[in-house]
Amino acid sequence: MEAVVNPRDIHAVLFDMDGTLVDSDAAVERAWTTWAGEYGVDAAAVLAVAHGSPAESVVARILPGLDPTIRAIAAGRQHELQYDDLSDVVPTAGAHELLDLLEQRGLPWAVVTSADQRLATARLGATGIEPKVLVTIEDIAHGKPHPEGYLRGAELLGVPTAQCLVVEDAEVGLQAGKAAGAYTAALKGLDGDLKLADLGQLAAFLAQP
């Protein structure tokens, strides 16, 4: 693991949900593939930009020029395809180990997701993860890569963003974390202040004396 941050400088952790705490990649891809078929667009083009981004912003990129009301309906349809698709949604490797460590250390944490409240509650519930603070797309005006979600999460935890670590598996989320002024931890080979193979590696890092 590459690190350019001291674990003692981290006073709170802000997690993305899909692909970070929750392994839902297959469900996300199934939903977008079905949605692409319904709307007559190329599924590969949709999947190339969908991960980590709010549904409405993806729709706007794929189908520019839609009336805002129609765009919202299209985004809503994408969410509908995911609500009950939980058969293979599980915690990511090391997720519970890391959350247990944060509780032991008294480090507050929150989930900041591009999903809506219903979807976030369903997926977190399926994995047995219960955040005390959850920021969804419905709680903010601007989704990732805008920093608003992470700024809101830090505010609710009562910790300055400069003392927070944002954990992400998507470039748009890392951009949001950096723009918020937080440290970043990157999964899936992406670039951040920490580069992680999995969340168990982050638990070991934060457990250092």
Same domain for 201 and 130, yes or no, is yes
What is the pLDDT confidence band of residue 2, given thresholds at 50, 70 and 90?
A: low
Q: Which of 16, 85, 116, 193 is catalytic?
A: 16
Q: What is the helix (H) or strand (E) element at residue 20, kind and residue range?
A: none
198 is catalytic: no
pTM above 0.85, yes or no: yes
pLDDT tens-digit readout, 188-200: 999 999 999 999 9
Which of 178, 175, 152 shows the shortest CA–CA distance to 165?
Answer: 178
18 is catalytic: yes
Write down which residue in 83, 100, 132 finishes a domain: 83
Same domain for 154 and 198, yes or no, is yes
CATH label of the domain that carries residue 119:
3.40.50.1000
Please tell me whether residue 60 adopts helix, strand or coil conformation: helix
Same domain for 11 and 79, yes or no, is no
Q: Which of 18, 23, 169, 193 is catalytic?
A: 18
**Residue 100, token pair as written in the block:** 């247990």
Number of domains into which the chain is organized = 2
pLDDT tens-digit readout, 92-135: 999 999 999 999 999 999 999 999 999 999 999 999 999 999 99
Q: Which residue range forms the structural domain that includes residue 202?
A: 2-24+90-206
**Residue 184: predicted pLDDT:** 97
Write down which residue in 83, 103, 127 finishes a domain: 83
Same domain for 184 and 137, yes or no, is yes
